[in-house]
C-alpha cells in the first residue's frame, strides 16, 4: 500500500487506514535499528532537511538518525544559526530550501499552522515536528505504535492524559489519534490547563488526577512547562506536584497492568516521581525507540515507499 499524501501535518487529518499503514510500516523498520549494520539504502540520494525553530534533542536526533539509517542525506538548520537572525520570513526561508531540491522538510515552529503554510506553498513533503500548541503528529504516532505493541491493540483501552492539556501539542495529537483508533480518552489537569470545549474532541474531563487514572490502561503524563510558572497558570511547581504528579501514592488507582508514558523531557519530581518514571510500568524509553522507527516509516512512505 502507498500513502497517498504529500505531507504529515497532524493526526486530525489522517484516516484510520493511514494510521494503520504508518504503524505497520514502522513495525517493519524497528528491526533495522537492532541489526549489526543499522542501515538500508532505501533513501539513498534523498535529502531530508530538519528545520528547527525551537530547541530539541530528542525529536531532531530521532529524525536525523531515521534519515541516516535509510541512507538519506540529512541537513540540520536551527533557528539560532540561520537567516532568521537576519529577519527573513519563514516563507522566504522555505522557498529557498525548496529551490535546493530537498525531498522532505521536517519543521518545528512555535507558531501553530507553520507546517501547513509550508505544505501549501512547497512541492516537497512537509513533516510537522511540532507546531506551537497545535499538533505533534510524529509523537502521537510513536505513542500509538508503542501502545499497540505493548497491548496488542488500541481499541477499547482507557487512556488518561494528565497535565497542561491546553498548551500541549502532544495531548492534542494523541487525543485525535487515540479516539480515532477507538480508545477512551480521559484528560485531567488544573482548571486553568483544560481548554474550554475540549469535550467536543470526544474526551472525558476531570480536574483531579485520581479520577482520571482510575482503572486506566495507559497513563500519559505531560511535561509541565516550568518556564510558565511565572505566568500564574498554576500557583507553584510544588503545589502542581502535590496535586497532579503521578507517584506511588496514586498509581495504585490504575489497573494493575497500567503502562506509563511521557513524551519527555521529564521534570522528575514535578509531573512524575522518579520511581514511577523508572519503574516496571514505564514504557517511556520504548516510546523513544519507536520514535526512530515511526520517523523512518514516514520518510519512507512520503518519498514513495510501498508497504
Out of 89, 120, 192, 249, the only residue in the binding site for its own copies (CB under 8 A) is: 89
Using rule CB under 8 A, residue 24 touches its own copies: no
Catalytic residue among 60, 109, 134, 136: 136
Measured from the CB atom, the residue of 57 and 236 that comes closer to its own copies is 57
Out of 93, 124, 125, 168, the only residue in the binding site for its own copies (CB under 8 A) is: 93
Q: Can 69 be counted among the known catalytic residues?
A: no
Minimum separation from the CB atom of position 254 to its own copies (A): 23
Which listed range, 60-68, 128-136, 214-222, 247-255, lies at the site for its own copies (CB under 8 A)? 60-68
Out of 8, 9, 49, 147, the only residue in the binding site for its own copies (CB under 8 A) is: 49
Using rule CB under 8 A, residue 75 touches its own copies: yes
Minimum separation from the CB atom of position 31 to its own copies (A): 11
Distance CA 64, CA 77 (A): 12
Catalytic residue among 25, 59, 74, 138: 59
Beta strand segments in the chain, E:
47-52, 73-78, 104-109, 125-131, 158-162, 184-188, 203-206, 218-221, 259-261
Q: Can 136 be counted among the known catalytic residues?
A: yes
Distance CA 159, CA 259 (A): 9
Minimum separation from the CB atom of position 158 to its own copies (A): 26
Minimum separation from the CB atom of position 210 to its own copies (A): 26
Q: Can 109 be counted among the known catalytic residues?
A: no
Q: How many CB atoms lie within 10 A of CB 50?
A: 24
Q: Can 179 be counted among the known catalytic residues?
A: no
Give ∠ CA 303-155-153 in degrees, rounded to 5. Answer: 65
Using rule CB under 8 A, residue 101 touches its own copies: yes
Tell me how far apart the terminal alpha carbons of the chain are, to the nearest angstrom: 5
Of the candidates 127, 138, 140, 108, the one whose C-alpha atom is nearest the C-alpha of residue 222 is 140
CA–centroid distance for 123 within its chain: 24
Which listed range, 34-42, 123-131, 132-140, 192-200, lies at the site for its own copies (CB under 8 A)? 34-42
Give ∠ CA 235-240-245 in degrees, rounded to 5. Answer: 175
SS3 per-residue string spanning 243-283: HHCECCCCHHHCCCCCEEECCCCCCECCCECHHHHCCCCEC
Distance CA 126, CA 115 (A): 7
Residue 219 · residue 261 · CB < 8 Å: yes
Using rule CB under 8 A, residue 232 touches its own copies: no
Using rule CB under 8 A, residue 69 touches its own copies: yes
Give ∠ CA 268-168-157 in degrees, rounded to 5. Answer: 85
Using rule CB under 8 A, residue 94 touches its own copies: no
Q: Can 47 be counted among the known catalytic residues?
A: no
Minimum separation from the CB atom of position 117 to its own copies (A): 15
Residue ranges that bind its own copies, judged by CB under 8 A = 33-39, 44-47, 49, 52, 55-58, 60-62, 64-65, 68-69, 73, 75, 77-78, 80-89, 92-93, 95-102, 223, 226, 264-268, 285-286, 288-289, 291-292
Amino acid at each position: 500500500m502507498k500513502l497517498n499524501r504529500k505531507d504529515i501535518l497532524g493526526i486530525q487529518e489522517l484516516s484510520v487506514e493511514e494510521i494503520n499503514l504508518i504503524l505497520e510500516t514502522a513495525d517493519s523498520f524497528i528491526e533495522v535499528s537492532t541489526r549489526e549494520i543499522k542501515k538500508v539504502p532505501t533513501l539513498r540520494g534523498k535529502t531530508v532537511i530538519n528545520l528547527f525553530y525551537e530547541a530539541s534533542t530528542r525529536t531532531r536526533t530521532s529524525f536525523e538518525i531515521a534519515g541516516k539509517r535509510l541512507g538519506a542525506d540529512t541537513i540540520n538548520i536551527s533557528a539560532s544559526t540561520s537567516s532568521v537572525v537576519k529577519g527573513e520570513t519563514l516563507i522566504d526561508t522555505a522557498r529557498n530550501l525548496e529551490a535546493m531540491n530537498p525531498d522532505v522538510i521536517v519543521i518545528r515552529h512555535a507558531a501553530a499552522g507553520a507546517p501547513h503554510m509550508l505544505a501549501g506553498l512547497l512541492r516537497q513533503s512537509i513533516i510537522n515536528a511540532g507546531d506551537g500548541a497545535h499538533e505533534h503528529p510524529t509523537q502521537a504516532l510513536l505513542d500509538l505504535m508503542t501502545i499497540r505493541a505493548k497491548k496488542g491493540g488500541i481499541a477499547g483501552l482507557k487512556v488518561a492524559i494528565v497535565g497542561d492539556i491546553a498548551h500541549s501539542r502532544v495531548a492534542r495529537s494523541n487525543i485525535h489519534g487515540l479516539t480515532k483508533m477507538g480508545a477512551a480518552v480521559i484528560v485531567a489537569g488544573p482548571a486553568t490547563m483544560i481548554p474550554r470545549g475540549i469535550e467536543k474532541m470526544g474526551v472525558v474531563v476531570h480536574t483531579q488526577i485520581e479520577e482520571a487514572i482510575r482503572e486506566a490502561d495507559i497513563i500519559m503524563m505531560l511535561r509541565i512547562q516550568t518556564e510558565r510558572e511565572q505566568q500564574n497558570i498554576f500557583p507553584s511547581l510544588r503545589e502542581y506536584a502535590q496535586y497532579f504528579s503521578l507517584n506511588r501514592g496514586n498509581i495504585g488507582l490504575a489497573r494493575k497492568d497500567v503502562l506509563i508514558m511521557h513524551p519527555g523531557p521529564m521534570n522528575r519530581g514535578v509531573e512524575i516521581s522518579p520511581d514511577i518514571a523508572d519503574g516496571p510500568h514505564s514504557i517511556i524509553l520504548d516510546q523513544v525507540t519507536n520514535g526512530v522507527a515511526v520517523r523512518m516509516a514516514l520518510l519512507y512512505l512520503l518519498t514513495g515507499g510501498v508497504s
